Structures are given as C-alpha cells and as structure tokens.
Amino acid sequence: MLSAQLEAYLAEINLPATIEQKKQLIDFVGMLNKWNKAYNLTAVRDPEAMLVRHIMDSLVVSKHLQGERFIDVGTGPGLPGIPLAIMNPDKQFVLLDSLGKRIRFQKQVSFELGIHNISSVESRVEAYQPEQKFDGVLSRAFASIQDMLTWCHHLPAEHGQFYALKGQLNDEEMQHIPGGFAVKEVIELKVPKLDEQRHLLKIIKE
C-alpha cells in the first residue's frame, strides 16, 4: 500500500528513485511509526500521513540542493535530512538535534537501513562548532527565519546557503531578516496530497 503511494508521489514530483531507495524510505516510515509509540518523535501518528507530511514534504527540496555537504538543524527524528540523504547518496548530511532520544533514533535508522552519508550530532546549534563548514544549512519548522540566521550564522562555508523550509510566508517575518543576509530565491513547493502552502527560501550572507 505505502509502496504504491510512494511510487505515485515520486512520479508526481518527478524524482527518480532506485528500488533500494524506495525500500529505505518505506522502512524509515516503519521505524518512525514503531519508535513513535514509545518515544513520541512526531505528532503525526499514521504511516500514510507520515509518507506525505514527512517524507514527501522533505523530498520536494531535493532537486534544489546545491553542493555536497549539508547540515540539518533541529532535525528532530531526521527530517528533512534522512529522506534527502537516502535520495542523494553523493552528498553528506550532518543531523543536529539537542535531544538524545532523537539522536539515538537517527543512529538506529542509519545502522538498520544502511544509510552511510549521515552523521548525528547531539548539540544546541549555537554551541556546535564544526571543523568544516557547510554548503547548505537546512531547517524545517525549526524556528523563525530571524532566529535561524542568528543561531546558524557560523555554519555555512564561504559560498554556502541557508535553506529555510516554511509553510505560509509571513510578511512580518520576511521583513525581520537580520542585516548581512539576503533572500536569494523564494521557491513555491508542491507536496503531493498536501493542500497547504510550502515554500523554500534560499538565503545567502551578503
């Protein structure tokens, strides 16, 4: 059932996937559903809803990623980082979260599903000082754009970008983007089966 739905959704967003990638995505939903019962990782309880609200909501960003090294800030159980890592095996993803139970879940997913291009870090974003900076700093439902840029300003490499995944765009929020940053692009995203607004903001340091 989920496999057929995933197949249709991937076709709808024109994102090719191997048999192995599709299996990893479905197995990730299965693990999220199983662990959720004990650890309360997400408010979404139904695997079919998880497929739309977590997997597809993450994957619509995939074709917009530029570079090889990414950090997913406030990743929770690994969203959007784990679905994006599955679909982009040539890119590296650091998953950053301050809660140990979420990090344990991510590590188990990496181990069980054989995802080798993610690494999980338990830390507050302000305290995390990576040796190597990132081509892309991702955040999904993590904070306001203002807070994201203030807390994550030290993470992108020289030509790196911020990728803020937002729902409806808030004019007030857009007007409070801190100095030294510029919105390079606003992309309207369409998530299959989701009748809600989704936007990707690409932001650069000036």
Identity of residue 182 = A
What percent of the chain is helix, strand and coil (3-state, nearest 5)? 40, 25, 35
Establish whether 52 is an annotated binding residue.
no
Establish whether 140 is an annotated binding residue.
yes
Establish whether 125 is an annotated binding residue.
yes
Instruction: List Cβ neighbours of 100 (8 Å cut-off, separation of 6 or more).
Output: 122
Residue 63: in which H helix or E strand, if any? none
How many whole angstroms separate alpha carbon 67 and alpha carbon 92? 9
How many whole angstroms separate alpha carbon 64 and alpha carbon 143? 21
Q: At what angle do helices 19-39 and 2-12 cross, to 10 degrees?
A: 120
Establish whether 76 is an annotated binding residue.
no
Establish whether 68 is an annotated binding residue.
no
Instruction: List Cβ neighbours of 179 (8 Å cut-off, separation of 6 or more).
Output: none
As annotated, the binding site includes 74, 79, 125-126, 140
As annotated, the binding site for S-adenosyl-L-methionine includes 74, 79, 125-126, 140
